[in-house]
Structure 1
Amino acid sequence: MKFSELGLSQDILDAITTHGYVEATPIQEKTIPLTLAGKDVIGQAQTGTGKTAAFGLPILENIDLDNKNIQALIVSPTRELAIQTADELKKLGHDKHVDVQVVFGGADIRRQIQNLKSHPQILVGTPGRLLDHINRKTVKIDQVKTLVLDEADEMLNMGFLDDIEAIIKNTPADRQTLLFSATMPPAIKRIGVKFMTDPEHIQIEAKELTTDLVDQYFVRARDNEKFDTMTRILDVQAPKLAIVFGRTKRRVEELARGLEARGYHAAGLHGDLTQQMRSRVLSQFKSHEINILVATDVAARGLDVKDVSHVYNFDIPQDPESYVHRIGRTGRAGAEGVSVTFVAPNEMDYLRAIEDLTKKRMTPLQPATLQEARIGKIKNAAGEVSKLVNTVDADDIQSEVEKLTAQYSSEQLAAALLSSVADLEKQNTPVEITRERPLPRRRGGNGGSSSRRSGSSDRRGNGDRRGGNRERRGNGGPRREGNGDRRFGDYKRRDGRSTERRTGGARKSREFTVREKD
C-alpha cells in the first residue's frame, strides 16, 4: 500500500518521498490509520519491520509546533535503539522543524539537561535515564499526548517493569499508548490491561528479512586478530565497492587510517564529521575514488550508493536490526552481494540472535592465509596493469621504454610492474587498533536467543551510570563447529551455481601485526 493511501498530510508525504520510502510495510499499513484515529495499539512484530515509521509518522503528523511541551514520549530498551529512533524521527520531521531529543544512560546528564532546554516536542529515552530526569524535574511529561513503549518485552527482560510503570504514572490518563513487542508474555498483556484503553491488536508474521542475493558469512576472530584477518580477506575478495562497519567513532577512524596505511583506498564516515567533510567522503565513494567506506551505523543511515558489492561487519552489531540495515547496502537491484561478519568467541550469542531474526544461517568462512592474500593482491594488480596498458600514452616515455626493454626481458619488466602496483610490502605495515570494550552477554544464550536486541541499558540509581552495559548471565549456548568452514577455492552457491574464489597455498600460521594500545 502507498503511504498516500494512509491519511497522511502532504508535508509528511513529501518527507517520506525525500527519504526514499515508497510503499508501507505491513506494520505501517495497519498501525498508521489506527494511530491517526487516536486508538491505543498493541503491535506484535519483529525488529526490522519498520516500526519506527509506523508510530513516528502519525506522531509527526499530530505534533503542534506552537506547543513547547513534550507531546510524544518514546521509551526504548537500549541506548542504540533510542539513538536510532531519534535520528529517524529527526530525519522525517526535519522539514516540519520538529524538535526531537534523546536521553540515555552512560552519557553526560548535564549535556542532556542543556539540550532539553530547547523544549522538544518529542523525547526518546531509556527507562532508567528518563526516570532520573523525571525525578530531577528536568523532564515533564504531564502534557504527553502519545506514549510509545518500543520492544516492551525486551525492557521487561532487562528488569525495567517498575521503571516503566513509574514513567506511565507520570503521564496523563487520557494519553494514547502504543506498545510494540516481538513476543506477548503475560507481563506485556498485563500492561495492556492496566494502562491501555481498548487497544487494537496487530500481529505481523515473521519473515526472512535479508535477500537471497547476499551471501552471508561469518569469521571467528579475536579482537586483536580482526584487522589482519579482514585485510587478507579484502585482498582475496577484491571488492568493487565495500562498506566496513565499526561500532564507535574511534574504531572507524582507526580502521580508516589503518586501511590507508596498508595501501587501500579508504575513508571514514562518522557523526563528528562536518557536513562538508561528509559530502566529500560520499562523493569520493560514489565516484570510486575510494572503494572502501568505513562507517558507524548512525552515519550510514539513509546512505544510498549503487554497486556496493561487499559489506564487512568488523564489529558485530549489538542490535540484530542494525545487521539487516547494514547488509541491505549490498545485493540491490538484482545484483549479488557478499557480507562478512567478524565475531569474537564471546559474541556468538549475538550472531545467533541475528540468525533468529533473519531466519537464515550464516556460512562460516575460514580466514585467508598470508599466501592467499599475496596471490589475491597480485591478481588485483594484474587487473590494474591491464587498465593502464589501455590508457597510457607511450609517446612521452618511449625513450625510457626502449632502454628498459633493451636491458630486461618482458617477463622481468612485467614482474617488476606487478610488484610495484601490488605494493606487497604494505601488507606488513604495523597498524594500531584499540581494543574495544567487550559486548555484554546476551540473555537466552542456550541457543534459543530471541530476535530482539539486547544491548546497553541504564538502570536507575546512583545518578549518571557510566558505560551502561549490563552483564548478562548465561551458558553461552552451543558452539558453532568450524569444520564446515569455506575455503577460498571454487565452491557451489545455494542455488547450485559455481562461484570462483581465488586459491592460494596451504594454510600457514597467522602473522598478525596489529598492536594494541594500553
Structure 2
Amino acid sequence: MEKVKFTELGLGEEVLRAIEDMGFENPSDIQRDAIPVLMEGHDLIGQAQTGTGKTLAFGAPILSGMEKTRGQIKAIMLTPTRELAIQVSEELKRISKYKGIKTTAVYGGSSIQDQIRAIKSNTDIVVGTPGRVLDLIRRRVIRLENIEYLVLDEADEMLNMGFLDDIEEIVRNCNEDRQTLLFSATMPDRIKALARNYMKPDLKHVKIAKKSITTASVEQFYFETKARNRFETLCRILDFYAPTSSIIFCNTKKEVDEIVANLQKKGYSVEGMHGDMTQGFRMRTLENFREGTIKVLVATDVAARGIDVSHVTHVINYGLPFETDSYVHRIGRTGRANREGTAYTIVTSKDKPKLKQIQRVLKCVIDRKDIPKIEEIFKAKSELVIKTIREELDKKEYEGFIEMAKELTETDSALDIIAVLLSMKYKEETSYEMDDDSIEGTDYMKSEEARIFINIGKKDGITKRKLISFLVDEGHMKENAIKNITILDKFSFFNLKSKDVERLFKRCQGRKFCKRAVNMEIAKGK
C-alpha cells in the first residue's frame, strides 16, 4: 500500500511548511485518518495509543482553519497533567511557526498571574489542566463565547483523575457551534456518555489498532537515587560502564542544555540536540555522533526522532518520559542491526509507580542495579588504563620518548614516575570528581535542621515573602518551620527541619516559581 503524504490531506500551506521543517513527510495512522475528517468540520472521537502523533493529528487541521483575531481565544485544549499541557503547547508552537498563532499553557503549581498576563497578550489557543482552566474562566480571563475548537486530550486519564465535573462545567459554557475533538486510549462508558451529551450526532469515530511493541534485544535496568543526586548518578554510570556510544534522553530542552554544559565541564565527549538548535548544528552534531567523534549525545524525544545510528550501545533515561510509548521509542535507539543494547533509567522514589506501569504495559522486567561505588569505578578505570598502556606497548610507537624517560629517572624513581602518569591517565578517564560514597545517604538527617539551597535569587524577583508563600502553598510546609532565609542574586538559602526535607523535595522539585523550574539541594558546609 502506497504511503499517503501530508500534502494530500488538505492542510494549509503554512502548516505544511512547518511540518516539513519538523522532518515529517508521511502521517502516522491517526494523523492519516483524523486530519481529513477534521478538515471537513466534523466532531471527532480519536482512539489511539499515546505516542502515535495525536497532537499533530488535531493541531494541524485546527491551525489550518484558524485565523488570528486580536483578543479572542479560539481554541481550548484540556489535558490531564501539566507535563502534557506543556508538551502539547510546545508541539503547537512548532506547527504554527508560520501562522503567527499564539499558544499559552496553563496549569497549577505555576504563577497564575504570569499565565493571566500571557493570555491577555493576544493568546489564540489555551492548553491546560481542567482545574486551572476553570479557575481562569471563573476569573473571566478565558471567555468561551468565541471558542471554535474544544479538544479533550487523554480524556480517559482526565476522568480517572476525577476531572469529570470540571470538564462538564467547561464544556457546558462553550460556544455551541464549536468543533469538539475527544481523544482517548480507551472507551469506557463515561467517555461514551460525555460524547453523547456534548458532541454533535454526526461525529466520526477513528480507531487505530494497537500495534505490538518489542524490546527483546535491549537489556533494561534502573538505578534509584535521590533527586539531588541524579547528575552524579549519571556520571558514575558513564564512568563505570564506559559506553562507546550512548544517548541520554531528557524531558525538556533546558535539561539538555544544563546536562551538556555540566558534562562538558567534567571533560566528557558530549553534545546536545533539541528543537531550539539550528538545523545545521543538529546535522553536524548527528554526523559527529555517527562518526564516533562524540561519544555521548544528550537529546529530547522530539530531536531524537531523526536519529538513526546503528552502533548506539547504551540509552540512558535521565528521567522517565511522560508516556510509555516514548520509553519504547527511546530504548529502541539501541539494540539495532542485530546488536544487543542496554538501557539504563535513573529514577527517584516518586517514579516507582510509573516504572511499574511501564513494565506492566510492556510485559517486561526492568531490573534494579546498584549505583557504582567509587572503589568499583576506580577498579574498572584502573583495568582500562592498564589495558590501554599494554596495547600501546605492543605498538612500539613510544621510542621517541625514551630520552625524556631517561631524564626523568635521573632524579625520580621509575615507580613514582609511572604512578604519576597512571594518576594523570586515570583522571582523564574519570571525569567526575568523587570523594565519598554518600550518594544514597541521608547524612543531613543526623542533625535536626538542614540548610536548603534553591536556585532562585533576587534577579528572578524572589523575596522572603514570596519564598515563604511558595513553600507553604506548594510544599505544604508550616510558615514557622521556615527559618534563616538568605536571598542572594542568583540563589537563596533557608533552614528547615530535617524530617521535612524529603517531603519538600518531592512536592517542589521541578515546579515553576518566578518563571524558573525549581531545583533544591542540601547545602554543603552551610
TM-score normalised to the size of structure 2? Answer: 0.69
SS in 1 for 2:97: coil
Q: CA deviation at 1:258?
A: 6.4
Alignment of 1:475-490 (within 5 A): none
Alpha-carbon separation, structure 1, partners of 2:71 and 2:332 = 37
Alpha-carbon separation, structure 2, partners of 1:170 and 1:117 = 20
Aligned to 2:303: 302
Q: CA deviation at 1:323?
A: 3.0
Aligned to 1:461: none
Corresponding letter in the other structure for 2:60? L
Alpha-carbon separation, structure 2, partners of 1:280 and 1:301 = 15
Aligned to 1:400: 404
Alpha-carbon separation, structure 1, partners of 2:69 and 2:338 = 46
Q: Structure 1 stretch 234-243 or stretch 166-175: which is displaced more?
A: 234-243
Corresponding letter in the other structure for 1:301? V
Contact 2:14 2:96 (8 Å CA) reproduced: no
Structure having the higher helix fraction is: 2
Q: CA deviation at 1:9?
A: 3.4
SS in 2 for 1:216: strand
Alpha-carbon separation, structure 1, partners of 2:302 and 2:216 = 22
Q: CA deviation at 1:83?
A: 0.2
Q: Which has the higher contact order (CA 8 A, sep 6+)?
A: 1
Aligned to 2:62: 59
Alpha-carbon separation, structure 1, partners of 2:93 and 2:393 = 50
Q: Structure 1 stretch 382-391 or stretch 138-147: which is displaced more?
A: 382-391
Per the alignment, do residues 114 and 223 of structure 1 end up closer, same or farther by CA in structure 2, a change over 3 Å counting?
Answer: closer
Corresponding pairs, count: 439
Q: 2:87 aligns with which of 84, 96, 104?
A: 84
Q: CA deviation at 1:407?
A: 8.6
Q: 2:118 aligns with which of 101, 115, 131?
A: 115
Contact 1:238 1:380 (8 Å CA) reproduced: no
Aligned to 1:482: none
Aligned to 2:504: none
Q: CA deviation at 1:328?
A: 5.4
Q: CA deviation at 1:208?
A: 3.8
Aligned to 1:311: 315
Alignment of 1:15-414 (within 5 A): 15-66=18-69, 68-198=71-201, 199-209=203-213, 212-223=216-227, 229-245=233-249, 259=263, 264-265=268-269, 287=288, 291-292=295-296, 301-303=302-304, 304=306, 307=309, 309-324=313-328, 326-327=330-331, 330=334, 337-345=341-349, 347-381=351-385, 399-404=403-408
Contact 2:77 2:152 (8 Å CA) reproduced: yes
Q: CA deviation at 1:159?
A: 1.2
Contact 1:76 1:125 (8 Å CA) reproduced: yes
Q: Structure 1 stretch 97-106 or stretch 241-250: which is displaced more?
A: 241-250
Aligned to 1:517: 523
TM-score normalised to the size of structure 1? Answer: 0.70
Contact 1:381 1:422 (8 Å CA) reproduced: yes
Per the alignment, do residues 5 and 387 of structure 1 end up closer, same or farther by CA in structure 2, a change over 3 Å counting?
Answer: farther
Q: CA deviation at 1:41?
A: 1.1
Q: CA deviation at 1:410?
A: 9.3
Q: CA deviation at 1:163?
A: 0.8
Corresponding letter in the other structure for 1:178? L
Corresponding letter in the other structure for 2:342? V
Q: CA deviation at 1:56?
A: 1.0
**Structure 1, unpaired ranges of 5+:** 436-464, 470-514
State the Cα deviation string for residues 80-124 of structure 1 (Å, max 9, x = none): 000000000101111222211111111111111111123222221
State the percentage of identical aligned residues: 38
**Structure 2, unpaired ranges of 5+:** 442-471, 477-520
Contact 1:39 1:200 (8 Å CA) reproduced: yes
Aligned to 1:458: none
Aligned to 2:465: none
Aligned to 1:510: none
Corresponding letter in the other structure for 1:517? A
Alpha-carbon separation, structure 1, partners of 2:71 and 2:231 = 48
Contact 1:233 1:373 (8 Å CA) reproduced: no
Contact 1:236 1:377 (8 Å CA) reproduced: yes
